[in-house]
Amino acid sequence: MEFGIAMSLLHDTVVEARQAEAYGFDFLSTGEHINFPVAASNTIVALAAAAGATERIKLVSGIALVPLYPPALLAKQVAMLDVVSGGRFHLGVGVGGEFPAEFEAVGVPVTERGARTNEALEVIDRLLREKNVSFEGRFTTLNDITISPSPVQKPRVPIWVAGRKEAAMKRVARYGEVWLPYMYTPDMLRSSVVSISEYCEEFGRSPGAVDTALYIFTCVHEDRETALALAAEQLSHQYAMDFSQLVSKYTIAGSPEDCIEQIEQWRDAGANTIIFGSGCPKHHVDENVRLIAEEVLPAFRS
């Protein structure tokens, strides 16, 4: 298995990125929002800073909100980030929609987010692979467009598709290399792997064309009950809703031993990569990362 960590200290990206690399994580991730109940990143900007501060760790946007971007602009940013990172960038994408005000702010109807994302992924795929691209779609028109420099990775940067529902599963089966669900249970993951394999065949791809990852909020503490309480506190604040009954269902939380057992369940359900999101208050973030790296991950390193 591979493991990643989501950045949380927005004011100190360089330090956090170097720390993640020193701890031996395989991936560094960060999400984005224009408008969110708490401070939120821009994934391309933050990962560009992280790229300049690191040498080995892979970078994955977790996630880029595709419908908020003109597709050609996002393709240019993706290609450039892959170049400056030396071929370490993976494009994680999603449709968003939980906060309609951020769609209104950029003039994009929230009801069009799925259709815009599907068309954008087709455009981005071509721009990252081809030269002199022309395209006439519902939302995008290109006339002889070439992205240069092109990405280091060939045939293009890997695309991870996030989501929870059937539309997202079809999206990854058609356009992506990695399925990245969130707010999932192991049974949901197991079922989605089967569905995506079937959708891959419908789109003319091999059943095993899509790998499986997981984004999951995590809070590790030497005391199990303290970990659960910290996770409930943080996620209730972060999502402006009561998360106390959801922590045991949708997070990895507890003592290091608890978390190892939970990760084993996810592995058995099909997850080959886990991206740990911070599921704890700021005062426990550093200790949470240390416990994951030093007391949880060694159980999965040969």
**Whether residue 298 sits in one domain with residue 163:** yes
Q: Which of 250, 249, 256 is nearest to 227 (CA)?
A: 256
Q: Which residues contact 254 (CB under 8 A, 6 or more apart)?
A: 220, 221, 224, 227, 228, 262
pLDDT at 38 over 90: no
- Same-domain pairing of 72 and 119: yes
CATH of residue 117's domain is 3.20.20.30
Residues 216, 274: contact at Cβ < 8 Å?
yes
Burial of 189 (0-12, 13-18, 19+ CB in 10 A): buried
Domain boundary among the residues 156, 180, 202 is at 156
Residue 282 has pLDDT above 80, yes or no: yes
- Provide the pLDDT confidence category of residue 10 given band limits of 50, 70 and 90: low
Say what the pLDDT of residue 106 is: 96
* 252 and 203 co-located in one domain: yes
Q: Of 135, 156, 177, which closes a domain?
A: 156
Q: Radius of gyration over alpha carbons of the chain, in Å?
A: 19
54 touches 17 (CB < 8 A): yes
Has residue 238 got a pLDDT over 90?
no
- Whether residues 176 and 286 share a domain: the answer is yes
Whether 128 is in a domain gets the answer yes
Mean pLDDT over 137-144 rounds to 98
Nearest 5°: phi and psi at 155?
-75, -20
CA distance 210 to 286: 33
Distance CA 28, CA 101 (A): 28
- Residue 302, pLDDT > 80, answer no
In the chain, which ranges are continuous DSSP H helix?
13-23, 43-53, 71-84, 100-105, 113-129, 166-175, 186-202, 224-239, 247-250, 256-269, 285-291
Residue 47 lies in a domain: no
Same domain, 218 and 141: no
Angle at 12 between CA 11 and CA 14, to 5 degrees: 140
Cα–Cα distance, 282 to 292 (Å, whole number): 16
- pLDDT value for 214: 98
Residue 181 maps to a domain: yes
pLDDT above 90 covers a percentage of the chain that reads 93
Query: Which domain range does residue 191 map to?
Result: 158-302
Instruction: Answer yes or no: do 151 and 177 share one domain.
Output: no
pLDDT for the residue numbered 85? 98
Indicate whether 89 and 170 sit together in one domain.
no
DSSP H or E stretch at residue 65: strand 64-65
Return mean pLDDT, the chain.
Answer: 96
> Sign (positive/negative) of CA torsion 232, 236, 241, 246?
negative
Residues 137, 177, single domain; the answer is no
Whether 5 is covered by a domain: the verdict is no
Residue 88 has what pLDDT?
Answer: 98
For residues 299 and 165, state if they share a domain: yes
pTM of the full structure: 0.95
Distance CA 5, CA 60 (A): 10
Instruction: Please report the pLDDT score of residue 12 as a whole number.
Output: 84
Domain presence at residue 215: yes
Same domain for 297 and 276: yes
Dihedral angle computed from the Cα positions of residues 113, 151, 273 and 190, in that order, rounded to the nearest 10 degrees: 50
- Boundary of a domain, candidates 156, 189, 211: 156
Could you tell me where the DSSP H helices lie in 130-242? 166-175, 186-202, 224-239
Number of folded domains that form the chain: 2
- Asked whether 50 and 81 are in contact (CB, 8 A), the reply is no
Whether the predicted pLDDT of 8 surpasses 90? no
Average pLDDT (185-206) is 98
Q: Give the pLDDT band of residue 70 (cuts 50, 70, 90).
A: very high
Of 1-10, 119-128, 177-186, 293-302, the range with the lowest mean pLDDT is: 1-10
Distance, CA of 237 to CA of 239 (rounded, Å): 6
User: What is the predicted pLDDT for the residue at 227?
Assistant: 97
- In this structure, the answer to whether residues 271 and 178 fall within a common structural domain is yes
pLDDT given for residue 184 in this prediction: 95
Residues 209 and 132 in one domain: no
Is residue 252 situated within a structural domain?
yes
